[in-house]
Amino acid sequence: MTAYVFTFGGNARHDDPRSRDKTVVGGKGANLAEMASIGLPVPPGFTITTEECVRYLAEGANFSDVLRADVAQALAHIEAAVGKKFGDPADPLLVSVRSGARISMPGMMDTVLNLGLNDQTVQGLAKTSGDARFAWDSYRRFIQMYSDVVLGLDHHLFEDALEIIKEDNGFYTDVEMTAEHWQTLVAQYAQIVERALGKPFPQDPAEQMWGAIAAVFDSWDSERAKVYRRINDISGHWGTAVNVQAMVFGNMGDTSATGVAFTRDPATGEKAYYGEWLVNAQGEDVVAGIRTPQYLTRRAREAANAKPLSMEEAMPEAYAELAQVFELLERHYTDMQDIEFTVERGKLFMLQTRAGKRTAKAALKMAVDMAGEGLISEATAIRRIDPMALDQLLHPTLDPTAARDVLGKGLPASPGAASGAIVLDADTAEKFAVRGDSVILVRVETSPEDIHGMHAAKGILTARGGMTSHAAVVARGMGRPCVSGAAGLAIDMAARTLTIGGRALKEGDVITLDGTTGEIMAGEVPTIEPELVGDFATIMEWADRHRRMKVRTNAETPADCRMARQFGAEGIGLCRTEHMFFDAGRISAVREMILAEDEDARRAALAKLLPEQRRDFHEIFEIMTGLPVTIRLLDPPLHEFLPHADEDFADLSDTIGIGVATLKRRAEELHEFNPMLGHRGCRLGITFPEIYEMQTRAIFEAAGDVAAALGEAIVPEIMVPLVATRRELEILKALIDRTAAKVFAEKGRTLDYLVGTMIELPRAALMAGEIAEVGEFFSFGTNDLTQTTLGLSRDDSARFLGVYVDQGIFARDPFVSLDIDGVGQLVALAAGRGRETRRDIKLGICGEHGGDPASIAFCEQTGLDYVSASPYRVPIAKLAAAQAVLGMA
């Protein structure tokens, strides 16, 4: 019989492999069971599987009688292990209820601590613990958390009440509150709940527990969780597990503590313990930024010049035991671990371990170091790095020589640098970012509800919180620089202003963050390009050793070509010639050519463009010497180059000597209702062959000149766009061959070249066997192939694709990651039919999908020869190509 509730700790058996399967019990449940099985001090508990979450959400939020019976039996396991009874007013068992998806989603789903407390059990807890202050503190925490998570009340109602009672008594921190103060606050909290809901706070522990379980399941479908999954490409069908675990208390006085730690530095990758802790606190105090925590190690405290003692100094015995656990867990999991722990009256308990989130820089260093230590293999090191995370390393950082107007300093919570306009809430951040503004999200502290604004922002600044706060963890995962715990930062939400370092700023003012140093600066600070050496170079070298596919770039400017070569591009997979035509110095000639009434007039205009195109290609061939260069002939509809405003028509009229009325009439004649499927691509070459003739001449003349000057063979690959039939390509290949023959005769030298086509129409994919009789290479233009296969406009579908992804119609945005089932089937079919006709045909992909790791894995599986990506995505594509090979081995 399949089990849907699994126990751990306290002599629980783990014979069923499902009990440690992350897809069944989630990452947290699997790791709790694993830690317990290797003898670590894990409080006993049980896990309700992800399958129950999926069933609960699908079947109207009901719990089956079977599940209730299994939970009762599992609860009895906890009671037997700790010797306490759930709901016993004399000596109550208290539990935590936490989420646990198969992939860590920090802060996105709900947690409830101290569950089981009520007006009677709090008295028993006070008596058995001998600490009334601790008992009433735990009860007020429970009411506040349960009211927020389960009852849906605004947590600010409770925070405000706490702040008022502290102000009334002249207290600065929570630790100054006595048992009597906490008891008074509990009564106030109860009143808040009854006023808001019209009924008392629930007193039945069983009702409390099932309410918390339901809230955790429901949080899987919360808006913040959906946003996080969409950002991180996590399936919405998986569901979350629920972990119910005996409480251990870090808030039982000065011999108790709680903390979060990493076995290596998640920001730099250094092999050094990294973390934070708080005396007399519970875990939420650390991760939610409620109190600014202390450093875990003496070394870190001294480096920060902080006064409060580190755990290493204040609790040496517990710290020494914790350090041993660090070493054991890292060896066991062969990866850096993110650990949550509690010390209850001197005794250490492990509450969680998981593979730690890390910056791209840290990921590279850890992978290279662990391979060097013999902990993992080179292949594992390559697999372990998220290719998309490399994007963090490929962009500029602050220029160390630039002047800095430093306003203040906080904790360097996530490295990197960013400048942008101040915004004070997540919705504003998203709104400003949509219109193209760079923004810095500034908050007192972030919460999971801020996830959309954090994603939209270039950087994050918080007044409270530490290096392991919600803001820090999420920012590191997103690759956003973050400065947290900026004590001198005060925010006035009503006035939409803030002060820092004695300076007043308003929303919209520009600031700069340095997440590596923690500095906050006024204005925008200049940046410098990254140096891709050290661990980055090592990983790229390893990836090159393992991958099969080549990686080219999409580039048409000299700057992009140089950048791509610096990143290791092995040629150009797509040079878009139309981008060259928009240059201010030649747009008039382009427009003159388009508006010409006959072929002679077009040729006259094209003669002006020929030297410009030749110069373009000459520079590209020089930069890419020794590497293949695929040049796409003119593709977009001609009307895209035409003026729209009256003053632009007047300027063009003055330049080319044709009246404005005539120009407007001609522009109107070129207007199309559906230009994406109109007079564009090879259709231009068929109807106006002189355009492709000019471009082809420019290519051959430039290639010949560079080859003669450098003494190296240049092999241009000329690509005809939007072909649907063999005959189209046949006509245009003949034109290209004639032009080549003329240029070779004029120059007295020849060169090799290839003529191929983009496969971007479904018919071309279906007829690839015939088209390959003429074409010597195929490049899959998956941007347009996706549009024409799915009937979706890339420019217009963004407004509803998010809904399609949320509802599971598409697993991901098909313009970001290839629709493998549909569009991918056409790519595979065309590749197969093309190779049946021409065994040595060269096959590549040049759409945006060429930089997407999931799409690259499909390209490897399909046997394409190369992928082509934007310059900054070349290293991402190289690593993904290596992972595709290793993943298939």
Distance of CA 755 to the CA centre of its chain: 38
What does the alpha-carbon distance between residue 510 and residue 442 come to, in Å, rounded to a whole number?
12
Three-state secondary structure call for residue 758: strand
**pLDDT tens digits, 490-507:** 999 999 999 998 899 999
Count of CB atoms situated within 10 Å of the CB of 588: 17
Quick one: pLDDT at residue 861? 96
pLDDT digits (tens, 9 = 90+) for 608-649: 999 999 999 999 999 999 999 999 999 887 777 777 778 878
Return the closest-CA partner of residue 318 out of 256, 246, 253, 252. 256
Helices within 336-400 (DSSP H only): 360-372, 378-384
pLDDT tens profile 701-740: 999 999 999 988 899 999 999 999 999 999 999 999 999 9
Euclidean distance between the first and the last CA atom of the chain, given in angstroms as a whole number: 35
Give yes or no for residue 888 having a pLDDT over 60. Answer: no
Give the whole-angstrom CA distance, residue 465 versus residue 472.
Answer: 8
Q: Kindly state the percentage of the chain with pLDDT values over 90.
A: 66
Cα dist from 806 to 225, 643, 793, 811, whole Å: 11, 40, 19, 8
User: Using CB atoms within 10 A of its CB, is residue 305 exposed (0-12), middle (13-18) or buried (19+)?
Assistant: exposed
Contact 473, 522 (CB under 8 A): no
Calpha distance 781→759 (Å, rounded): 6
Alpha-carbon distance of 617 to 629, in angstroms, equals 10
Say yes or no to pLDDT of 103 above 80.
Answer: yes
- Reported as a single tens digit per residue, the pLDDT across 380-421 is 999 999 998 887 687 667 887 888 999 998 888 887 889 999
Average pLDDT of the segment spanning 87-98: 96
DSSP codes of every residue in 65-115:
HHHHHHHHHHHHHHHHHHT-EET-SSSEE-EEEEEE-SS--TTTS-EEEEE
Percent pLDDT > 70 in the chain is 97
DSSP string, 822-871: THHHHHHHHHHHHHHH-TT-EEEE-SGGGG-HHHHHHHHHHT-SEEEE-G
* pLDDT above 60 (res 789): yes
Q: What is the pLDDT at residue 812?
A: 85
Q: What is the mean pLDDT of residues 98-106?
A: 88
Name the catalytic one among 470, 618, 639, 849.
Answer: 470
Task: Report the C-alpha gap between 374 and 718 in whole angstroms.
Answer: 48
pLDDT, the chain, mean = 90
Q: What is the C-alpha R_g of the chain?
A: 32
Cα 519-521-522 angle, rounded to 5 deg: 170
Q: What is the mean pLDDT of residues 84-108?
A: 92
Q: How far is CA 68 from the centre of its chain?
A: 38
| Distance (Å, whole) CA 112 – CA 62 | 20
796-813 residue pLDDT tens? 776 788 788 878 899 888
- Left if phi > 0, otherwise alpha if psi is -120 to 50, otherwise beta: which for 738? alpha
- pLDDT at residue 468 tops 70: no
Instruction: Judge whether 865 and 840 are in contact, CB under 8 Å.
Output: no
Q: Is the pLDDT of residue 579 over 80?
A: no
> Is 470 noted as a catalytic residue in this protein?
yes
pLDDT tens by residue, 527-539: 777 777 799 999 9
The answer to whether 296 and 304 are in contact (CB under 8 A) is: no
User: pTM for this one?
Assistant: 0.78
* φ and ψ at residue 487, rounded to 5 degrees: -60, -30
Range in 317-326, 335-344, 630-639, 768-777 the model is least confident about: 630-639
pLDDT score for 135: 94
Which ranges of 249-296 would DSSP assign to H, the alpha helix?
283-287
Cα separation, 713 vs 397, whole angstroms: 38
Strand-by-strand arrangement of the 347-355 sheet: 294-295, 274-279, 257-262, 337-344, 347-355
- Secondary structure of 30-70 in the HEC alphabet? HHHHHHHHCCCCCCCEEEECHHHHHHHHHCCCCCCHHHHHH
- Strand pairing class (85-86; 95-100): unpaired
Task: List phi, psi (to 5°) of 746.
Answer: -65, -40
Residues 172-180: what's their mean pLDDT?
88
Cα-based torsion angle of the residue sequence 560, 575, 568, 542 in order, rounded to the nearest 10 degrees: 140
User: Could you please report the per-residue DSSP string of 113-179?
Assistant: EEET--TTHHHHHHHHHT-HHHHHHHHHHHHHHHHHHTS---HHHHHHHHHHHHHHTT-SSGGG--H
Yes or no: say if 460 and 477 are a contact pair by the CB < 8 Å rule: no
For 693, list phi and psi in degrees, rounded to 5.
-65, -45
Q: Any idea which residue has 């910056």 for tokens?
A: 359
Calpha distance 310→329 (Å, rounded): 22
Q: State yes or no: pLDDT of 290 exceeds 70.
A: no
Which residues, at least 6 apart from 187, have a Cβ–Cβ distance to it below 8 Å?
Answer: none
Cβ-based burial of 213 (10 A; exposed 0-12, middle 13-18, buried ≥19)? buried
**pLDDT (0 to 100) of residue 460:** 94
781 with 846: CB under 8 angstroms?
A: yes
Point out the catalytic residue in the list 575, 682, 846, 859.
846
Look up residue 333 and give its amino acid.
Y
Residue 137 tokens, joined: 């503190």
pLDDT value of position 495: 93
Q: What is the pLDDT of residue 580?
A: 77
Tell me the pLDDT tens digit for each residue of 205-224. Answer: 999 999 999 999 999 998 88
| Confidence band for 8, pLDDT divided at 50, 70 and 90 | very high
Closest CA to 524 of 432, 410, 435, 396: 396
320 by Cβ neighbours in 10 Å (0-12 / 13-18 / 19+) ranks as exposed
- Selected residue with higher pLDDT from 816 and 687: 687
Given a contact cutoff of 8 angstroms between Cβ atoms, the answer to whether 277 and 259 are in contact is yes
Per-residue pLDDT, 275:
92
- The answer to whether 726 and 774 are in contact (CB under 8 A) is yes
487 vs 763, higher pLDDT: 763
For residue 773, pLDDT beyond 80: yes
Specify the pLDDT at position 267. 86
Mean pLDDT of 853-872: 94
* Mean per-residue pLDDT, 821-834: 97
DSSP letters for 639-681: GGGS--SHHHHHHHHHHHT--HHHHHHHHHHH--SSGGGSS-T
- The pLDDT value recorded for residue 889 is 47
Are the C-beta atoms of 348 and 341 separated by less than 8 Å?
Answer: yes
Q: Single out the residue of 27, 17, 35 nearest to residue 329, CA to CA.
A: 35
Give the span between the Cα atoms of 259 and 87, in whole angstroms: 28
Q: Judge whether residue 823 has pLDDT over 50.
A: yes
The pair of three-digit structure tokens given for residue 745, joined into one six-digit string: 């005769």
Q: Which two tokens stand for residue 438?
A: 């760079």
